[in-house]
């Protein structure tokens, strides 16, 4: 049995299955992070004693650059596949992994520094929001790394058997990755700069 439209787009919708699937998934992610942003705004505007901590803007800026770069490498990986250049693809996806890893390492140092200054989720609701949002975002980064790891490892076999479908998978994984980047683009000013 074969599920139709795994590779080629369905003529009337112009989409292959996973492409529609990932966008639906991202729609739900919008609502997930939307709820957190909503809570953040509501708590902050509703509380006259709101206390905004100074966070490490330098580290966060570096992290922003890491994520933006990783977004580029992941599209490059996809382009390499479309040019049939599997070696380049691997290179770019490894680069993406490395940047994601670097992001998490920086995050680790940020968290440790905050703990050292006795800033915990229990300190105040700003810190609680900060840890919850960046934590959830971090889990998404980790999830992305797992997916990339799979696509570089056991999942890469598919390149031999179904190259179209594999290319689609990379595109879809990339869409997810850009979304994670996009969330960060909003997290960064809301938590670090405002």
Please say which residue, 31 or 116, places its beta carbon nearer to other proteins.
31
- From the CB of 41, what's the least distance to other proteins, in Å? 7
- From the CB of 60, what's the least distance to other proteins, in Å? 9
Please say which residue, 48 or 153, places its beta carbon nearer to other proteins.
48
- From the CB of 190, what's the least distance to other proteins, in Å? 8
- From the CB of 186, what's the least distance to other proteins, in Å? 5
SS (HEC) of the chain? CCCCCCCCCECCCCECHHHHHHHHHHHHHHHHHHHHHHHHHHHHHHCCCCCCCCCCHHHHHHHHHHHHHHHHHHHHHHHHHHCCCHHHHHHHHHHHHHHHHHHHHHHHHHHHHHHHCCCCCCCCHHHHHHHHHHHHHHHHHHHHHHHHHHHHCHHHHHHHHCHHHHHHHHHHHHHHHHHHHHHHHHHHHHHHHC
Please say which residue, 83 or 113, places its beta carbon nearer to other proteins.
83
Please say which residue, 25 or 94, places its beta carbon nearer to other proteins.
25
- From the CB of 73, what's the least distance to other proteins, in Å? 10
Please say which residue, 44 or 90, places its beta carbon nearer to other proteins.
44
């Amino acid at each position: 049995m074969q599920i139709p439209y795994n590779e080629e787009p369905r003529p009337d919708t112009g989409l292959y299955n996973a492409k529609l699937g990932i966008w639906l998934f991202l729609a739900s992610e919008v609502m997930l992070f939307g709820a957190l942003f909503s809570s953040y705004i509501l708590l902050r505007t509703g509380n006259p004693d709101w206390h905004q901590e100074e966070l490490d803007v330098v580290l966060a800026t570096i992290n922003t650059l890491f994520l933006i770069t990783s977004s580029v490498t992941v599209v490059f990986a996809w382009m390499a596949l479309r040019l049939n250049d599997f070696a380049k693809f691997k290179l770019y996806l490894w680069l993406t992994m490395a940047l994601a890893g670097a992001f998490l390492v920086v995050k680790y140092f940020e968290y440790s520094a905050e703990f050292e200054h006795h800033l915990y989720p229990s300190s105040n609701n700003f810190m609680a929001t900060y840890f919850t949002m960046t934590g959830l975002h971090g889990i998404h980064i980790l999830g992305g790394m797992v997916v990339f790891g799979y696509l570089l490892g056991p999942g890469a076999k598919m390149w031999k058997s179904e190259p179209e479908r594999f290319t689609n998978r990379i595109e879809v994984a990339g869409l997810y990755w850009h979304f994670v980047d996009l969330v960060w683009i909003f997290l960064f000013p809301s938590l670090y700069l405002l």
